[in-house]
Amino acid sequence: MYEVLDDTAAQAILAIESGESIRRVAQHLHTPYETVRQAVNRLEDAGYVTYDDGLSVVDERVRDAAFELVAASSGVSPPSIEEAYVIPQFSDRPYAFTRIDAVYVWTQGGYQVGRDPDDYPLFLAVHEQDIITWETFFESFDLPTAFERQPRNELDRSLQIVLEPRPSLDVNHVEGYPVIPRGETIEYMRENYAQFQSALAMLDRMYEDLDLGVAYRETERAQT
């Protein structure tokens, strides 16, 4: 089994939801389509997945093996920032990116500021009844969790997961990322207007149905 499960194949198994296409799995993993297609072909030849009106994993034990491999790899080589955005998809519990990560998702990566790669929190909204499950899940990847951002000098790793427990979740999807609704994201940006003025202007340009009335130029910023 393990000779077929390289990192891409293992991640593909964990990202597959029954009935999905290879293109959709590639979007989940933010990995080139051809790379995922080749991995899926190897998995299908080995009998681990089938493709019949969509992909499906033949046995949950295959998922378990894939999870063990991906988690073990994280213990040997800590996940990058890009990989950390993908890892939550390997859980079977719902979540949505929130706060500054929601801004990042809704601007389709156009706005990313204020986080040092050596001190990088990811913000996830989750069901409050799933908190222990999420803490255990991220512990498998040696990623610390908390309810508020922790000082860098208190952590062994540059990445941390900030969990925001909620009684319910309203999840949208943008380019494969689950995210809180756009309206809620805009409200958060307005509450932190000085930081997100340029991002609000960016959203106003990106989405024709918005009329946020925000004008922003780099020259304006330089004059303040």
- Is the model's pLDDT at 221 over the cut of 50? no
Q: Are 55 and 18 in contact (CB under 8 A)?
A: yes
Q: Do 164 and 212 sit in the same domain of this protein?
A: yes
Instruction: Show which of 22, 43, 76 is a domain's final residue.
Output: 76
State the average pLDDT for the chain.
89
50 pLDDT above the threshold of 80: yes
Q: Do 144 and 125 fall within a single domain?
A: yes
Q: What CATH number is given to the structural domain containing 90? A: 3.30.460
User: Are 170 and 199 part of one and the same domain?
Assistant: yes
Q: Tell me: do 162 and 55 sit in the same domain.
A: no
Mark whether 97 and 29 lie in a shared domain.
no
Q: Are residues 113 and 214 in the same domain?
A: yes
The whole-angstrom separation of Cα 100 and Cα 155 is 21
Please check whether residues 149 and 119 belong to one and the same domain.
yes
Average pLDDT over residues 9-18: 92
Please report the pLDDT score of residue 52 as a whole number: 84
116 and 211 assigned to the same domain: yes
In a domain, 1, yes or no: no
Please give the residue range of the domain that contains residue 106.
81-223
Are 103 and 153 in the same domain?
A: yes
Name the least confident of 136-140, 163-167, 204-208: 204-208
Domain match, 27 and 49 both: yes
62 and 112 together in one domain: no
> How many domains, in total, are found in the chain?
2
What's residue 217's pLDDT?
Answer: 53
Distances (CA, A) of 154 to 119, 157, 219: 11, 9, 38
pLDDT confidence of residue 191: 94
- Here the tokens at position 120 are 């990088």
Residues 133, 46 share a domain: no
Indicate which CATH number applies to the domain containing 12.
Answer: 1.10.10.10
Tell me the average pLDDT across 77-92: 91
So what's the pLDDT on residue 224?
Answer: 36
Measure CA 125 to chain center: 11
pLDDT at position 216: 56
pLDDT at 2: 52
